Amino acid sequence: MRTFLAVYRAGSLTAAARWVGLSQPTVTTQLRALEERLGRQLFERLPRGVAPTAAADDLAARLAGPMDALEAVAGGGPPEQRTPEPPVLLGGPAELLAALVLPALAPLVNRGVRLRVTTGLADDLLAGLRAGRFDLVVSAIRPRGRTLIAEPLLDEEFVLVAAPTWAARLASLAADGPTALTNVPLLSYADDLPILRRYWRHVFGTRLLADPAVVIPDLRAVKAAALAGAGVTVLPRYLCAANLASGALQLLLDPEDPPINTGFLVQRAGAPALPHAALVRDLLLDSARSW
> What does pTM read for this prediction?
0.72
181 pLDDT exceeds 50? yes
Residue 118, phi then psi, degrees to nearest 5: -125, 130
pLDDT of residue 207: 94
pLDDT at residue 148 tops 90: yes
Q: What is the mean pLDDT of residues 71-84?
A: 54
pLDDT for the residue 187 = 98
Q: Is the pLDDT of residue 6 over 90?
A: no
Question: What percent of the chain is modeled with pLDDT above 70?
Answer: 95
Does 35 score more than 60 pLDDT?
Answer: yes
The domains located in the chain, with CATH, are 1-84 (1.10.10.10), 155-260 (3.40.190.10)
pLDDT for position 272: 65
**Residue 201 near residue 209, CB atoms below 8 Å:** no
Alpha-carbon distance values, 78 to 75, 113, 207 (Å): 9, 21, 63
Sign of CA dihedral 265, 270, 274, 278: positive
Average pLDDT score, the chain? 90
pLDDT at 265: 97
Q: Is the pLDDT of residue 71 over 80?
A: no
- How far is the C-alpha of 133 from the C-alpha of 271, rounded, in Å? 12
Tell whether the model's pLDDT for residue 80 goes beyond 60: no
Could you read off the pLDDT of 117-139 as tens digits, one per residue? 999 999 999 998 888 788 999 99
- pLDDT for 11: 84
- What residue ranges in 171-232 does DSSP mark as E strands? 187-188, 214-215
Which DSSP helix (H) or strand (E) runs through 138? Answer: strand 136-139
Which range has the worst mean pLDDT, 42-56, 205-219, 229-243?
42-56
pLDDT tens profile 152-174: 999 999 999 999 999 999 999 98
Which helix (H) or strand (E) is 262 found in, with range? strand 260-268
Mean pLDDT of 30-39: 89
The pLDDT of 91-103, averaged and rounded, is 96
What is the pLDDT, as a whole number, of residue 77? 45
**Lowest mean pLDDT, pick from 5-9, 20-24, 141-145, 269-273:** 269-273
Grouping H, G, I as helix, E, B as strand and the rest as coil, residue 76 is coil
